[in-house]
């Protein structure tokens, strides 16, 4: 982690800010997002595409981290967005990302969401089924608009990632079966209200090698050629997201390898290219600060370190058995003898476990830790389960920091609830 250092006097430092100073002021649990890391990774991704001689539009996958400050930074750096809901669309508009630079993906878009997107003039809608194509055609026609659509193809390629984040197999709910795509494209060209502009594919997430990408893009290239042979024009290929990061010891997915796969399979088609990365950009740019509520000793066995953050903050370990690095914040922690410990949250489920048998310096009650690589699919997957208010969020850049979301208060937990009158007397 080039932006994370250990300082002998102030402990763990992220982009020039001592994380202990943030925790002192804001408390824990607290998400900290590094704007410098995010910018650095955006530029590295873009440079890798340019070095391969490709002009690839970057559409940041908003679902990874949808904070308006993050989206504003993406827009400021000149990039667009990949969205999957009306809520995400509204956020991009609030953050000043032009609608023309927004791609609308997702397997089930409601009529209201499609109306919103078509009225705003989003740059592209990725269509996931024949049924959805008919609906878009009808809605756009009614609005007197023409929606640019790309067909999301399911290439039936194994991304070799966790089953819950694999999307490109025929058994998955995503995309149009490869065998049906050419005919549906021709059908789209005959429909009112829609203009088919190309194809999209996305095979999954946390992909670490280029091979599955090449296999998927090769199939898409075949499709582009055969559709063109039939006399139709294809202007765009959206190559999806999914590039993985190093959570543990695995080698991080390389943007250069992704660029190589795109160039090898799609480079000579003369199409406009786009990618939809989320995790690779935002994941390493965030940490979750937590405190040890207590050490629960287990005799000779590994103790339980119970944190003040839980599965309702960071769901990934419970949901995908994900491994996240855990580092103590205090400088003296690194000179303590190490031990094996189980790191858990206080929520009443055994699945509320961040790490088992983790080698850590001995941590006492009150010690603070940073849970690493939580900038993507971290805060966005939070809930208030167990009536635990949403954690505070902070943005750091150039040695300064700012709260970008206040810690939710307990009163805010119920402020949107209403009481039926026959029960109101008891409140």
- Tokens found for residue 10: 């102030």
Considering only 240, 267, 286, 345, the residue that binds ligand LLP (CB under 6 A) is 240
CB atoms within 10 A of CB 251: 10
**225 belongs to an annotated ligand binding site:** no
Binding positions for ligand LLP, 138-177, rule CB under 6 A: 165
Q: What is the dihedral of CA 297, 302, 303, 307, to 10 degrees?
A: -170
Nearer to ligand LLP among residue 279 and residue 388 (C-beta): 279
Considering only 22, 42, 49, 61, the residue that binds ligand LLP (CB under 6 A) is 61
**H helices present in 230-269, as ranges:** 255-266
Is residue 349 within 8 Å of residue 69, measured between CB atoms? no
**256 belongs to an annotated ligand binding site:** no
**242 belongs to an annotated ligand binding site:** yes
Is residue 308 within the footprint of ligand LLP (CB under 6 A)?
no
**240 belongs to an annotated ligand binding site:** no
366 phi/psi in degrees, rounded to 5: 95, -15
Exposed/middle/buried for residue 1 (C-beta within 10 Å: 0-12, 13-18, 19+): middle
Is residue 166 within 8 Å of residue 204, measured between CB atoms? yes
Binding positions for ligand LLP, 365-394, rule CB under 6 A: 376-377
- In the residue annotation, 10 being an active-site residue is answered as no
Residues 6+ away with beta carbon under 8 Å from 157: 168, 169, 203, 212, 215, 216, 219
Q: Where are the beta strands (DSSP E) in 143-202?
A: 147-154, 176-177, 194-200
**377 belongs to an annotated ligand binding site:** yes
Considering only 242, 260, 303, 375, the residue that binds ligand LLP (CB under 6 A) is 242
Q: Which stretch binds ligand LLP (CB under 6 A): 234-242, 305-313, 347-355, 365-373?
A: 234-242
Binding positions for ligand LLP, 177-216, rule CB under 6 A: 202, 205-206
Q: Which stretch binds ligand LLP (CB under 6 A): 19-27, 73-81, 275-283, 359-367?
A: 275-283
Q: Site mask, ligand LLP, residues 278-307, x = CB under 6 A?
A: xxx---------------------------
Is residue 262 within 8 Å of residue 52, measured between CB atoms? yes
Known binding residues for substrate: 279, 316, 320, 349, 377
Q: Which residues participate in catalysis according to the annotation? A: 348
Per CB under 6 A, residues contacting ligand LLP are 61, 64, 82, 105, 165, 202, 205-206, 240-243, 276-280, 316, 320, 376-377
């Amino acid at each position: 982690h080039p932006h994370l250092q250990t300082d002998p006097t102030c402990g763990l430092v992220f982009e020039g800010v001592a994380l202990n100073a943030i925790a002192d002021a804001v408390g824990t649990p607290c998400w900290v997002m590094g704007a410098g890391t995010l910018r650095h990774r955006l530029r590295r991704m873009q440079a890798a595409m340019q070095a391969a001689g490709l002009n690839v539009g970057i559409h940041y996958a908003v679902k990874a981290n949808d904070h308006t400050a993050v989206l504003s930074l993406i827009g400021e750096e000149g990039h667009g967005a990949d969205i999957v809901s009306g809520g995400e669309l509204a956020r991009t508009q609030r953050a000043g990302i032009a609608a023309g630079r927004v791609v609308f993906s997702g397997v089930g878009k409601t009529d209201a969401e499609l109306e919103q997107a078509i009225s705003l003039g989003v740059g592209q809608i990725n269509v996931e089924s024949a049924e959805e194509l008919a609906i878009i055609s009808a809605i756009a026609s009614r609005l007197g608009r023409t929606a640019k659509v790309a067909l999301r193809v399911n290439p039936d390629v194994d991304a070799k990632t966790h089953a819950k984040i694999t999307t490109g197999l025929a058994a998955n709910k995503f995309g149009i079966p490869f065998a049906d795509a050419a005919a549906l494209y021709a059908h789209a060209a005959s429909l009112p209200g829609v203009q088919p502009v190309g194809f999209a594919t996305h095979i999954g997430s946390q992909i670490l090698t280029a091979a599955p990408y090449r296999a998927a893009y090769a199939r898409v290239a075949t499709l582009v050629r055969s559709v063109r042979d039939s006399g139709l024009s294809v202007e765009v290929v959206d190559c999806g997201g999914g590039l993985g990061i190093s959570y543990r010891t695995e080698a991080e997915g390389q943007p250069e390898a992704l660029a190589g796969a795109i160039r090898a399979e799609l480079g000579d088609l003369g199409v406009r290219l786009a990618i939809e990365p989320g995790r690779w950009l935002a994941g390493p740019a965030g940490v979750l600060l937590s405190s040890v509520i207590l050490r629960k000793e287990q005799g000779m066995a590994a103790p339980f370190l119970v944190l003040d953050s839980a599965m309702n903050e960071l769901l990934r370990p419970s949901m995908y058995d994900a491994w996240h690095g855990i580092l103590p914040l205090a400088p003296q922690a690194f000179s303590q003898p190490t031990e094996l410990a189980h790191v858990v949250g206080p929520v009443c489920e055994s699945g509320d476990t961040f790490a088992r048998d983790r080698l850590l310096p001995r941590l006492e009650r009150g010690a603070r830790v940073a849970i690493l690589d939580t900038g993507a699919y971290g805060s966005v997957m939070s809930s208030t389960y167990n009536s635990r208010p949403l954690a505070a969020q902070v943005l750091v850049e150039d040695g300064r920091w700012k709260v970008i979301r206040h810690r939710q208060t307990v009163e805010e937990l119920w402020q949107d609830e209403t009481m039926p009158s026959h029960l109101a007397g008891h409140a």
